[in-house]
């Protein structure tokens, strides 16, 4: 699939990425290769293949949720940059 430099510049602009001329050449070539590979994949017949989210058999390992002692307040706040009594002090971000 042919990919023009103007298209790559347009997408970079939308993504707020500034590309130098050398980078534009390299990225255009790389994107063209990726899109060409995707075009090859589109020609494959995958109707008999079941969709998967992983190529390996992966399963979550859960443990029982058991209540236990919390860290002591002094140990919890030991490395806090600022604290107010028993709490972390953070700068206000919403006016």
Q: What is the pLDDT of residues 36-73, one digit of tens each?
A: 999 999 999 988 988 887 888 888 888 888 999 999 99
Q: What percent of the chain has pLDDT over 70?
A: 99
Measuring CA to CA, which residue among 83, 81, 65, 64 is closest to residue 73? 83
How many Å apart are CA 17 and CA 40, to the nearest integer? 28
- CATH of span 5-42: 1.10.20.60
How many Å apart are CA 9 and CA 21, to the nearest integer? 10
The torsion angles phi and psi of 5, rounded to 5 degrees, stand at -65, -30
């Amino acid at each position: 699939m042919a990919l023009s430099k103007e298209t790559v510049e347009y997408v970079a602009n939308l993504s707020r990425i500034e590309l130098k001329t050398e980078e534009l050449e390299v990225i255009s070539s790389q994107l063209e290769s990726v899109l060409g590979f995707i075009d090859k994949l589109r020609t494959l017949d995958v109707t008999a293949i079941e969709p998967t989210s992983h190529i390996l058999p992966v399963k979550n390992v859960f443990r029982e949720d058991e209540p236990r002692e919390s860290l002591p307040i002094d140990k919890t706040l030991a490395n806090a940059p600022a604290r107010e009594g028993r709490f972390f002090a953070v700068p206000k971000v919403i006016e």
